[in-house]
Structure 1
Amino acid sequence: MAVTVENLKLNFKTMDEFKRFKEYGLEELSMLEEFQIYMVEDHATSPFYGIYYGDKLAARMCLYVKKDGAALLENGPDQYLEIWKLEVLPQYQHKGLGLKLVEFAKSFNLPILTKPKVKSHSFWEKMGFSPLSESSSRLIWNPSASTTQKIS
């Protein structure tokens, strides 16, 4: 089965799918409130990305574009990405869906910042993330290539 990452639409169908995550997922990873805020405020673009397995949303992440990357990394780019939350429903885990979401974020070739949740530190290390600093709980991935894909 071909697996693709999609930008999730801000509509009631997606909101219902997010409710299913709330039922089976971990409270710490809930994105329902963020989704509802974006929907009410009628944003033109959605920071939510997901993977459908068949007709079911199986994995999702919240990916924000942040400014002032130079403050994050010395001589860094103006922009960086932040993966706020990433979740794969239990019945779809160990199928490479989390990896696919992270690879999608990496395809923009910008530094990526995240804060591991729910004992996921080893997952992020496998994805090439390292501590932002010795005292920080946040992790960063820094691209080595120079080609940049712009997202808005």
Structure 2
Amino acid sequence: MQQIEVKRLLVNYKTLEEFRNFREFGAAELSMKDDLEANIIENDSESPFYGIYFGGKLVARMSLYRIDGKYDRYFEPPQDYLELWKLEVLEPYRGKGFGRALVDFAKSFNLPVKTNARQRSNEFWTKMGFEPVTYQTDRDRGESPYVWYPEGVKEQLSEDEGSVETLEN
């Protein structure tokens, strides 16, 4: 099998056209077309979009954002982390390692990674080494966060979870 290469996608009209295939054949919830249109600048190399081409066609993609540590409510110690959004592999290309390649690319930065399990993808994220976090209503707002911890990082507990009250008899 040929080596899978993850590429940063340019924010341009060609990428917008390629994203239309995902809108047409992919899950509506995972559409990135509006995200791309909002950031469109010809050949901008600072795009948050990454993808994999197979036979000249974009077959897998994701958004990857670096979140400043001052906003970290997931990891201990608090630090910069990556938020992986809307990973999607077109149906005919699933099960061929493209999704794993995108996840491994995100992990290669050796920063914690947070994502939300969408489209009944919990099993996929678990298989990729992600764990569900302890749900916190004020932080997670109905989402289903999964995280990957590099060595030395653990889940950040809320003050309520971190302290244990003892009752005296």
When normalised by structure 1's length, the TM-score is: 0.88
Structure 2 alignment gaps of length 5 or more: 154-169
Question: Which aligned pairs between 1:105-144 and structure 2 lie closer than 5 A?
Answer: 105-135=106-136, 137-144=144-151
* Pair 13,113 (structure 1): closer, same or farther in 2 beyond 3 Å: same
Question: Which aligned pairs between 1:13-92 and structure 2 lie closer than 5 A?
Answer: 13-39=14-40, 45-68=46-69, 70-77=72-79, 79-92=80-93
Aligned length: 145
Q: Give 2:76's aligned amino acid.
A: E
Are 2:130 and 2:146, in contact at CA under 8 Å, matched by a contact in 1? yes
Q: Which structure's CA Rg is the greater one?
A: 2
Deviation at 1:82, TM superposition (A): 0.4
Q: Give 1:76's aligned amino acid.
A: P
SS at match of 2:20: helix
Cα-Cα RMSD: 2.0
Aligned equivalents of 2:43, 2:73: Cα separation in 1: 30
Instruction: Give me the identity figure in percent.
Output: 46
* Deviations, residues 110-135 of structure 1 (Å, cap 9, x unaligned): 00000011010000000111112145
Structure 1 alignment gaps of length 5 or more: 147-152
Aligned equivalents of 1:113, 1:54: Cα separation in 2: 30
Aligned equivalents of 1:41, 1:115: Cα separation in 2: 30
